[in-house]
Amino acid sequence: MASMFLCDHMLIRLGRWLRAAGYDTAIASGAASDRALLAQAVAENRLVVTRDRKLGEFREAPGRVLLLRAGTIEACAAELTERRAIDWLYRPFTRCLDCNMPLLPVSPELWQSVPETSRATGGDLRCCPQCRKLYWPGGHVRRMRHRLERWRNSDFVETIDETRQM
């Protein structure tokens, strides 16, 4: 089965976490029809991750659609881990969270556009070749990494934290 994913529009946040972990993850636009979404999954050899029961009823669905029952992001991550053996530290922070593009290393001159407090931490500076967003190992990435580490240890929190931004 594919280890590349296609999250439906209701699972944008889960899709971004999969990208943070390093998985090649497409996220369907809200406008995509069920049929278009399945066609994309087949064409790109992706596993559709969805909570939409209807998607499971298509002819292409067996082996191609993973129907999650969970509600919160933590519960979705737990269910996905259980059913797909996700390694949340597969290749952490190697993809753009917005575009899914593999990040590229950038020249040290660009460090000037990084806040000074983050510059002090050192580490790699990477850039998305599509949207040009910069990624560096600052506090934001550290907090995300903590969550990825927790998930990797199958430590999922039963709480509704949908308001917390990633």
Interface contacts to Zn ion, rule CB under 5 A: 96, 98-99, 128, 130-131, 133
C-beta closer to Zn ion: residue 119 or 133: 133
C-beta closer to Zn ion: residue 21 or 55: 21
Structure tokens at 27: 């996220």
Residues in the chain, how many? Answer: 166
Cβ at position 151, least distance to Zn ion in Å: 23
C-beta closer to Zn ion: residue 70 or 101: 101
Cβ at position 133, least distance to Zn ion in Å: 5
Whether 24 contacts 45, CB under 8 Å: no
Using CA atoms, how far residue 88 sits from 64, 76, 80, 108, 151, in Å, is: 21, 13, 11, 29, 6
Cβ at position 22, least distance to Zn ion in Å: 15
Mention every residue, 6+ apart, whose C-beta is less than 8 A from residue 32: 9, 40
Cβ at position 98, least distance to Zn ion in Å: 5
C-beta closer to Zn ion: residue 130 or 159: 130
Structure tokens at 37: 């979404």
